[in-house]
Structure 1
């Protein structure tokens, strides 16, 4: 099965582009069996030359769905399919980048019709999509729009399949699909774990922990470890003799426990995660006119951040999202470097703080709302999430902005009193990674229940 697609973007710096339009046709080698086509709000301005090329402008995308709103559909239509695109490395990179901003690892096999065309249809004057299909007599409409380009790629791929008399495309496709056979030792280990959310520990023959991971489905994740051919997975497969696990019910609790345990045990195959995995922070300062400015930068241990992010791309993505959500000025958020008003003022989504049309007091009120919502500095609160059983809930306790630990409860009175809460939680270390995990989880899970406990002290 193939997912033949085309993506249009905003243009801009490498790995900072946003998707403006996507078209995907699921193709079984004979006919189209499913399709998905949509404009997408990239939450950042389109480069003028791109608008001239595609005809897509910022106004057209104002009410379009954002990427996170269509991400599930993209995952569904590309599951168990090989990505096919004209210059596949570009489209695949853009998709992986967008998913990584959501904290999701998007992995698919891919085929490039440029490379295939060079092999199967040599000596063409040009291998750009427009010129190539025209020279081959393939009809094409809506050039430089996702749907038009994707449909042309479908027709081109059909032609390439027909020209592939040695069946190299199909042979390679078949080679992509099979999972590596798992030996009996690894099959027994997979059978020993549940299909539930939690943390798992891989042990060697001496009982030493060699790897710690978390998953919403431990059995599925273990299967991925044991069918992977990368160097680290192969070494784990050779050394592992036993797997233990702890069910957490909540993904938040699994993330926190994984972070804590890796720092404690320092497993040799978790080297990358022993160090902090977040390197960008959100800071504030007040300019000479009295406006609170927000900026993202590499984490500086001498400063206290409002919140922290995995990387620069994720930070920038949230800044664009918040500028819209809180109607803040892109210039005062470091997103617009122009000399006059910001882009949002042009489309009437900024009240003019960038050119002093809005008073500092009015503007700063909305900035403080953002800061309060995304920072738990000095706050005492309880996060309530799923438990391990139907009648149980998981709980994370934060006091004065410091993570205290997590636990489980079944009776509501247990979470309304902080002294009882302290007695039922398992203590955890507060560190930068734990803080980011919590803030990131709150950002992504709008329905997460948060309460302020009382005290008898």
Structure 2
């Protein structure tokens, strides 16, 4: 994230760049995103697990991704990632990823290349990724001296916020699950691949609303303000 941790500029192939500007502890502004034909595209939904939630001092421990199109999961990808930092016990309990399980895991550069090969040219979709997943990937790519992908990226929080300017809540995963009454009892939460499946169900519901309103593109070229996620209490405890 460079010298200024509150500003990220992520370059994309077809839309020049995505600008994410953190306005405060509670809001960010995202602009310069345009994805057309959103009801027809294949998407690569992805999620990361890490040693913690603070990007500047934590590390990726797992990639998860699925190729999703027309309401169907076509392919799945998952890989653990060796971390230079030990997984805290409370995070291990949450994610099920132990330090022992990471002993023979691939390094970030190898797992990342597998992820990129899996995604291909698909538009990427994430939940709260403008706040966590993209900054984490940006940090790791910089540390490994490799290029960040050029794929366009949609965050379902922003996708939902664009649709509902009348709402001022934090559009967390749990919020969207409640809003759309999504079934989750068959999903392993806080697992990167399991969370991808959940994000696909959220995406499906949001796209249904877009279609009902005859909206066929995600366009926030002029900017959209989104509420940032609240730091969970478990991460605010003294280590």
SS of residue in 1 equivalent to 2:218: helix
Contact 2:188–2:195 (CA under 8 A) maintained in structure 1: yes
* Candidates 87, 92, 95, aligned match of 1:46: 87
Larger Rg: 1
- Which residue of 72, 91, 102 corresponds with 2:113? 72
CA distance in 1, matches of 2:52, 2:178: 26
Q: Does the Cα contact within 8 Å between 1:12 and 1:47 map onto a contact in 2?
A: no
Matching of residues 132-281 of structure 1 within 5 Å: 132-140=176-184, 141-165=187-211, 166-168=213-215, 170-172=216-218
User: For the residues of structure 1 that align with 2:188 and 2:110, how far apart are their CA atoms?
Assistant: 25
Indicate how the Cα distance of structure 1 residues 13 and 71 shifts in structure 2: closer, same or farther if over 3 A, else same.
same
| Residue aligning to 2:142 | 100
CA apart distance, 1:138: 1.4
Residue of structure 2 equivalent to 1:263: none
Aligned length: 174
The 2-side partners of 1:68 and 1:28 are apart by 27
Q: Distance in 2 between matches of 1:124 and 1:172?
A: 20
1:6 and 2:47 aligned:
yes
**Aligned counterpart, 1:114:** 157
What's the secondary structure of 1:105's corresponding residue? coil
Residues 418-437 of structure 1 correspond to what in structure 2 (within 5 A)? none
SS in 2 for 1:88: coil
CA distance in 2 between partners of 1:111 and 1:133 (Å): 18
Q: Return the structure number with greater strand share.
A: 2
Partner of 1:304: none
Does 2:172 correspond to 1:128? yes
CA shift, 1:134, in A, is 3.7
Q: Partners of 1:74 and 1:115 in 2: how far apart?
A: 23
Residue 124 (structure 1) shift: 8.5
Comparing both structures, which one devotes a greater share of its residues to helix? Answer: 1
- Alpha-carbon shift at residue 4 of structure 1 (Å): 0.6
Give the Å deviation of 1:20: 0.9
Cα distance between partner residues in 1 of 2:113 and 2:103 = 21
Q: CA deviation at 1:6?
A: 1.0
Conserved in 1, the CA contact under 8 Å of 2:159 and 2:218? Answer: no
* Matches of 1:50 and 1:167, distance apart in 2: 42
| CA-to-aligned-CA distance 1:117-174 (integer Å, 9 cap, x gap) | 2343564866221342144221222221112211100111011111103454x4237x
| Larger relative contact order (Cα-Cα within 8 Å, sequence gap ≥ 6) | 2
Q: Give secondary structure in 2 for the equivalent of 1:21.
A: strand
RMSD of aligned residue pairs (Cα, Å): 2.7
How high is the TM-score relative to the length of structure 2? 0.63
Cα deviation, residue 56, structure 1: 2.0
Single out whichever of 148-157 and 6-15 deviates more from structure 2. 6-15
- CA drift at 1:18: 1.4
Give structure 2 stretches of 5+ with no counterpart: 1-41, 222-238
TM-score, normalization by structure 1: 0.35
CA distance in 1, matches of 2:142, 2:109: 11
How far apart, in 2, do the equivalents of 1:22 and 1:103 lie?
Answer: 19
Cα displacement (A) at 1:25: 0.8
What are the ranges of 5 or more consecutive residues in structure 1 without an aligned counterpart?
176-337, 339-457
Question: Do the aligned partners of 1:11 and 1:50 also contact (CA within 8 Å) in 2?
Answer: yes
